[in-house]
Amino acid sequence: MTSSTRVWRPDWPCAVERTLRPHKRGDGDPTYRVDRHGRHWRGIGTPEGPATLVLSTRSSAGEVQAEAWGPGADWVLASVPDLLGARDDWTGFEPRHPVLADARRRHPHLRLGRTGRVMEALLPAILEQRVTGQEAFAGYRMLVRRYGERAPGPGADLDLWVQPTPAALRGMPSWEWLRMHVDPARSRAVVTVARVADALERLAGLAGDEVERRLCTIPGIGRWTAAEVRQRALGDPDAVSFDDYHVAKDVGWALTGVPFDDAELEAYLEPWRPHRGRVPALLGAAGLRRPRHGARMAPRTHLPARVTRR
């Protein structure tokens, strides 16, 4: 299979690994690989079909080199600047706190990328609702390997995969979800969004607040899940993962010395609107997280049937 290539020259020192990190769902994510040469490989479902994308950098030349295979190759190559943050604009953001000012000085080129693919972000976000990362990532790996497809070109040799299509998700029997430790509440939410996947993909062109409003009309989708989609698919700088197990506590600890709850976080971040999401992003880049000395959320030993909205 022949490939297509492009060379992109961003006007800032582009940190490919840091920008792509939010799109990696655990160390064993079948849709993401980093090879021994430091090149980043992704299996991507596009409007034109599946694609394999590999990105590498030549720092001395200020270049990002991209190569792609498959029916969606041209689409993913055209998306590379957006994926790496070319559309991200920090204009209007004021640190307002010495910790944030220091983090911004140390990470002046931090960018929020966008994939433009709503279902790609929505599927794993639903699987991550109210469970441990270990459980969510394991379920995602099994789902992709059983119902996804091999990534085109050299992706197959790298054991690289593309997420299942909406049609594949709609056709999965209920017992298969249980085999992957996905409870009925989350599997129903996945099947529901798969039924309206084409309409959901069109949300990528809307404002973040409107995307959240529309997503939250779907049973099983709440503001946490919507924020995860806004961050990854839209690169929305105002999206905050409220109701997360760690975010409110980490932001409060880093900026005030006292962990927040979600109501306190929402009130505290209001002065940063429409850049509220940059606050936890900067703190994360600076490695400012509260010490993890307390009890951790334990993996579940049963599968609850009630619907949750997160």
Quickly state the pLDDT bin for 294 (edges 50, 70, 90).
low
Are 131 and 227 part of one and the same domain?
A: yes
The confidence score (pLDDT) of residue 307 equals 38
pLDDT tens per residue across span 28-61: 999 999 999 999 999 999 999 999 999 999 877 7
Identify which of 51, 259, 303 has the alpha carbon closest to the alpha carbon of residue 153.
51
- Same-domain pairing of 145 and 213: yes
Q: Is the domain of 84 the same as that of 122?
A: no
- Residue ending a domain, choose from 218, 234, 250: 234
Nearest to 108 by CA among 287, 282, 272: 282
CA 43 to chain centre: 14
Do 15 and 52 belong to one domain?
Answer: yes
Q: Is 124 in the same domain as 224?
A: yes
CATH of the domain at 125: 1.10.340.30
Residue 172 lies in a domain: yes
Q: How far, CA to CA in Å, does 84 sit from each of 9, 43, 291? A: 11, 16, 30
Is residue 67 helix, strand or coil?
strand
Q: Are 57 and 89 in contact (CB under 8 A)?
A: no
Asked whether the predicted pLDDT for residue 301 surpasses 60, the reply is no
Query: Could you list the residue range(s) of the whole structural domain that residue 228 is in?
Result: 118-150+164-234
Residue 292 inside a domain? The answer is: no
In a domain? residue 296: no
Report the alpha-carbon distance of residue 261 to residue 68 in Å, rounded.
44
Contact 73, 51 (CB under 8 A): yes
pLDDT digits (tens, 9 = 90+) for 116-154: 999 999 999 999 998 888 889 999 999 999 999 999 999
Cα separation, 119 vs 128, whole angstroms: 14
pLDDT for residue 304 is more than 60: no
The reply to whether 60 and 138 lie within a common domain is no
Both 73 and 127 in one domain: the answer is: no
Q: Give φ, ψ of 280 to 5 degrees.
A: -65, -30
Token pair recorded at residue 219: 């049973």
**One domain, residues 127 and 206:** yes
Question: Which of 217, 234, 251 is a domain's end point?
Answer: 234
* Number of domains forming the structure of the chain: 2
Give helix then strand counts, H and E, for the chain. Answer: 14, 7
Same domain, 184 and 137: yes
Model confidence at 103, in pLDDT bands (50, 70, 90)?
Answer: very high
| Residues 230 and 122 placed together within one structural domain of the fold | yes
Domain-embedded: residue 187: yes
51 three-class SS: strand
Is the N-terminal amide bond of 291 cis, ω within 30° of 0?
A: no
Question: Residue 81: inside a domain, yes or no?
Answer: yes
What are the pLDDT digits (tens) for 161-200? 999 999 999 999 999 999 998 999 999 999 999 999 999 9
Q: Give yes or no for residue 99 having a pLDDT over 50.
A: yes
Residue 295 in this model has a pLDDT that exceeds 70: no
Domain's final residue, options 215, 234, 253: 234
* 47 within domain boundaries: yes
> pLDDT by residue (tens digit) across 193-238?
999 999 999 999 999 999 999 999 999 999 999 999 999 999 999 9
